[in-house]
Amino acid sequence: MSEFSLGGDVVVAVVGAGAMGAGIAQIAAQSGHQVLLYDAKQGAAQTAIDSISKQLAVRVERAKLSEGQRSQTLRCLRAVDSIEAIAGSALVVEAIVEKLEAKRELFALLESVLGDEVVFATNTSSISITSIAAGLRRPERVVGMHFFNPAVVMPLVEVVSGAATDIAVAEGVFQLAGQWGKTPVHAKSTPGFIVNRVARPFYAEGLRLYQEGVAAPETLDAIIRVCGGFRMGPFELMDLIGHDVNYSVTRSVFDGYYGDPRFAPSLVQLELVNAGFLGRKTGRGFYNYADSSRRPDPAVEPSTPPPSSEIVVNTSHPVGSAISKRLIGGGLNVVEFSESTEQDWIARFGAAVVAMTDGRSASQRAAESSIDQLILLDLLLDPEHAKGIAISSSAKCSASGRQVVVGMLQAAGFDVYSVADSPGLVVMRTVAMLANEACDAVHQAVCTPAAVDVAMRGGVNYPKGPIAWAAQLGADVVLGVVDHLYDHYREPRYRASPRLRELQWTGANIYE
């Protein structure tokens, strides 16, 4: 197909009037399309439109929408009671139950009723577009159009091409999503597409750290939020999503990649599912949501006096530079050292050495460098303004040595989260694994580097795209962290993406 477009005057049909289907119908109607909403359950489509009407009325009351806009949107929405009634539509968006056979049966029925030029879009979040389209007369007309919940609010749409999808059809749907005010990205049909694949380490590393006793969920969540800049930590987010749903997605991606250990589900989460502790919707998950319960506070170090001795800070390192400014602002005795060939240490005073994590545990690094009093710092999204920082110390580090570092960091304005010694700490480990998975998705031609960043920021609200974070840290730094994780665990889960190695060898632009 050489040319294809879906203009604002085409009729759009949405099949499935649940939360996602209703949201998609509302988006299309707000963009001026005549929208036909169908659901196999009698009356469900009209109920959905009535609900949309109420939601729009609330927006009018809050002055976020005019009455004229509300009326126009509702005039564009019509409930229909049969598949035959959507004949004449140029685009049909399917948003029914997430089961392959149900979707195949629906599209076969739609193809028998509608003309050959209709485009069929599926809102599936995980099922192969190739499998859905298989057996149809015109599989090239089938494309994934994956909205994120709530569809009206979340900006991202993954436009997913199966093996037979016509390039022009995918591009037409991509352009249409943009006209609807969404941020579309192209993806190849592979398990998890972009977001549900690349996001797996965000949950997996949190669960692994908890399982190993590195810190409690409330502390790990706080570190990811306060130090990493994420809107939610992994445990509170899993509780919000629902552990049954989150576990199911992980299992789907794991099975889709033939049991690749990189995507292995967590026994910790399976136990919650088996117990019925599914998160907010059942009143209990990692946290208790009973009316009288209060979420535990994260473990923060108590106030400790700052060191009285001179602090030598390596300002050639960006974190060292930021800490130096904060310490000087707090009136401490700081000597700035900016000509170091050792880029990995941050500060020294007495026998204590403070360094950034590189993926090794503090104890391993202390043994290899013969520095007993070693304290490692975790990654910070914004070292100059971060309110907290996570640290770990080597097994031979004295309590007094660790406490003097705590005092220094508190004097610099940080809340200090001390966690058990673990390779990569919390934020660095999580970010490195996200970047590694993002690079692997690009390596396997699932999407472009830019698309990964757009997808992860727009689909799951990450503060920075994983490729952008890798570019900031340097591919060699990310690769070093991942390789050290692999050396520690000896598990294929922590194998580095070939793309990361190629970037290190060639020095190529990570976005090319």
CA distance 20 to 147: 8
Tell me: pLDDT of 341 over 70: no
Residues composing the chain: 512
| CATH architecture group of domain 429-506 | Orthogonal Bundle (1.10)
**Would you list the DSSP string of 65-78?**
S-HHHHHHHHHTEE
pLDDT of residue 499: 97
Taking CA atoms, 162 is separated from 20, 159, 257, in Å, by 22, 10, 16
The correct answer on CATH 3.30.750.190 for the domain covering 311-418 is: yes
pLDDT of residue 294: 83
Q: How many CA atoms lie within 13 A of 15 on its CB side?
A: 26
Q: What is the mean pLDDT of the chain?
A: 95
- The reported pTM is 0.95
pLDDT of residue 307: 87
Report the CATH number of the 12-189 domain.
Answer: 3.40.50.720
Active site residues: 125, 146, 158, 196
Q: Note whether 197-282 and 429-506 share their fold.
A: yes
pLDDT of residue 343: 57
Cα 483 versus chain centre, distance: 22
Q: What share of the chain is helix, strand, coil (3-state, %, to 5)?
A: 45, 15, 40
pLDDT tens for 18-49 read 999 999 999 999 999 999 999 999 999 999 99
Tell me: pLDDT of 2 over 50: no
Q: What percent of the chain has pLDDT over 90?
A: 91
For β-strands 142-147 and 91-94, DSSP reports them as unpaired
pLDDT of residue 293: 75
Least confident of 154-168, 303-317, 464-478: 303-317
Structure tokens, 273: 């599912």
- What are the phi and psi torsion angles at 279 (to 5°)? 115, -150
CATH fold for domain 197-282: N-(1-d-carboxylethyl)-l-norvaline Dehydrogenase; domain 2 (1.10.1040)
Single out the residue of 58, 74, 71 nearest to residue 22, CA to CA.
74
Torsion region of 63: left, alpha or beta (phi above 0 gives left; psi -120 to 50 gives alpha): left
What distance, in Å, lies between the first and last C-alpha atoms of the chain? 28
Give the strands of the sheet with 91-94, arranged side by side: 77-80, 35-38, 12-15, 91-94, 119-122, 142-147, 156-161, 183-188
> 218, 296 in Cβ contact below 8 A?
yes
Domain chopping of the chain, boundaries: 12-189, 197-282, 311-418, 429-506
Confidence class for position 270, pLDDT limits 50, 70, 90: very high
pLDDT tens for 132-142 read 999 999 999 99
Taking CA atoms, 277 is separated from 137, 227, 232, 295, in Å, by 45, 28, 19, 16
Structure tokens, 11: 């009729």
